[in-house]
Amino acid sequence: MNNAANAYARTAHSALTPREAESQLLLKAAQRLIGASQSLESGENARLNEALTYNQRVWTLLSSEATADENPLPAEVKQGVGRLGVFVLRSCVDTMIAPTPEKIATLVAINNHVAAGLQGNPG
């Protein structure tokens, strides 16, 4: 039964549109940040730094794809995504240096809002 479940999961994952896949990556990064933030009080930042590094990779990918010359998005949308990507990357580094719950919450909120927009729920 486990093999069947794994096969279904692979098929379901491959059936995602690019926007759905991007949304899922952002949500996964947000969940990792939430989970890692729970270790803040203990002073153990390794898990948080791993989550922040993952978030950086996601945003590097999203930003470079969105701002690529061949991407058909309007120029102002490309600029907006590029600026947001720079902000997120800087915020990740800042959070690695001096982590606070507020900084992590900001990154989580950005990921969740952009993911919702990609899913067609910009509320």
Tokens of 121: 């729920």
Tokens (6 digits) for 19: 């926007």
Walk me through the domains of the chain, giving residue ranges and CATH numbers. 18-118 (1.20.120)
- pLDDT digit string (tens) for the chain, length 123 residues: 466 556 555 555 567 788 899 999 999 999 999 999 987 777 778 999 999 999 999 999 999 999 999 999 999 999 999 999 999 999 999 999 999 999 999 999 999 999 999 888 766
d(CA 22, CA 62): 7
